[in-house]
Amino acid sequence: MEYFIYVIKSKIYKTRYIGSTSDVLKRLKEHNSKKCRYTSGRTPWELIYKEAFKTRSEAMKREKFLKSGQGRKWLDNVFK
């Protein structure tokens, strides 16, 4: 089974959300159907980035990095 980190962006508010999952498209649908409390007020969301990993722990380590200051700077540079 593969695990993913993903970055979604609110089409209206231009904010980003970073998460991890084993099914990116299912998770995106959950965000857009307001099933996720944190993202429910900023719909609609679009997938802007994802990375695949062999283990959940690898994906969570990458997610933690992307949520750090350095990771956010990296994302800012990638999506200029």
Per the structure, the count of domains in the chain is 1
* 3-state SS record for 1-19: CCEEEEEEEECCCCCEEEE
Question: Given this model, what pLDDT does residue 80 score?
Answer: 80
Q: Residue 57, Cβ neighbours under 10 Å: how many?
A: 10
pLDDT score, position 1: 87
CA distance 28 to 10: 11
CATH of the domain at 54: 3.40.1440.10
Give per-10-residue mean pLDDT for the chain (80 aa): 96 96 97 93 96 97 98 93
User: What pLDDT score was predicted for residue 79?
Assistant: 86
Domain assignment of residue 24, given as a range: 3-78
